[in-house]
Chain A
Amino acid sequence: MRTRIGLAVVGTAAILLALAGCSGDSSALPGSATAPAPGATSPAPAAAPDTSCNPRASLKPAASLPPPGHMPAGTYMAKIQAQGRLILGTSQDTLLFSSRNPFTGKVEGFDVDMGRQIAQAIFGTPDKLQIKVIGYDKRVSSAMDGSVDIVADTMTANCKRWKDVNFSSIYYEAGQKVLVSSDSKAKSIDDLGGKKVCAASGSTSFDNIGKVKSKPIPVAKAAFGDCLVAFQQNEVDAISTDDTILAGMAAQDPYAKVVGSKFTEEPYGMAMSKSHPEFTAFVNAVLAKNRADGTWTATYKKWLGAFGPAPTPPVAEYK
Chain B
Amino acid sequence: MSTALVARPSPGTQVAAGPAGVMPAPRRRGLFRRVGSLRHTSPGRLELLLGLLVTLGVLAGLLAGITGAATSAGTSDLGDRAQPLLVEAETIYSALADADTTAAQAFLAGGLEPAALTQRYNDDLERATTAISAAARLTADGSEGAASVRALSNGVARYSALVATARADNRQGLPVGSSYLSAASDLNRQTLLPQAQNLFRTAQRGVHDGYRSAASIVWAGLLVVLILALAGALLLAQRYLSRTTHRTFNVPLVGATALTVVLAIGTVFVLVGQSSHLDQADKAGSTPVAQLAEARILALRERGDEALTLAAHGSGSQYTADFADASAQLTTALGNRYFTDDLRDKHKAYLAVHDKVSSLDAAGSYDDAVKLAISTPTGQTFEAVTAGIGSALDERKAAFNEQIHAAGRGLGLLGVLGPIAALAICVLAGMGIRARLQEYR
Could you tell me which A residues sit within 8 Å of B by CB distance? 84-85, 87, 89, 92-93, 95, 99-107, 130-135, 138, 223, 225-226, 228-229, 232, 249, 252-253
Contact = CB atoms under 8 A, between A and B. Distances in A.
Interface stretch (B142-150, B174-182, B294-302, B386-394): B174-182
Given A102-B174, A131-B366, A228 B314 contact: no
Contact of B111 (A89, A104, A249): A104
Contact of A87 (B165, B364, B370): B364
Given A228-B179, A252-B175, 17 more contacts: A89-B314, A92-B178, A93-B175, A93-B178, A100-B313, A102-B111, A102-B173, A102-B178, A103-B173, A107-B313, A131-B313, A133-B314, A138-B315, A225-B179, A225-B182, A229-B176, A232-B165
Given A132-B314, A134-B315, A252 B174 contact: yes
B179 A133 contact: no
Nearest to A83: B364
A228 B181 CA distance: 13
A249 B174 CA distance: 9
Interface of B: 108-111, 165, 169-170, 173-180, 182-183, 312-315, 364, 366, 370
Q: Which of A101, A223, A225 has the most CB of B within 10 A?
A: A225
Given A133-B312, A135-B315, A138-B315, A101 B175 contact: yes
Nearest to B165: A232
Given A85-B364, A102-B170, A103-B173, A225 B314 contact: no
Contacts of B111: 102-105
Contacts of B177: 102
Contacts of A106: 110
Contacts of B313: 92, 100, 107, 131-133
Given A92-B313, A132-B313, A226-B182, A105 B110 contact: yes
B175 A102 contact: yes
Contact of B175 (A134, A225, A232): A225
Contact of A103 (B108, B110, B183): B110
A252 B174 CA distance: 6
A95 B175 contact: yes
Contacts of B314: 89, 131-134
A260 B180 CA distance: 28
Contacts of A134: 314-315
B315 A133 contact: yes
A310 B165 CA distance: 34
Report, nearest first, the 8 A-B pairs whose CB atoms are least far apart.
A105-B110, A225-B179, A132-B314, A133-B313, A130-B364, A99-B175, A252-B174, A133-B315
A165 to B, nearest CB: 18
Given A135-B315, A252-B174, A105 B109 contact: yes
A249 B178 contact: no
Contacts of B174: 102, 252
A102 B180 CA distance: 13
10 contacts: A93-B179, A99-B175, A102-B169, A103-B173, A105-B110, A133-B313, A223-B179, A229-B183, A252-B176, A253-B176
Given A104-B110, A130-B364, A135-B315, A225 B173 contact: no
Nearest to A248: B175
Contacts of A133: 312-315
Contacts of B170: 102
A140 B170 CA distance: 31
Contact of A100 (B165, B178, B180, B315): B178
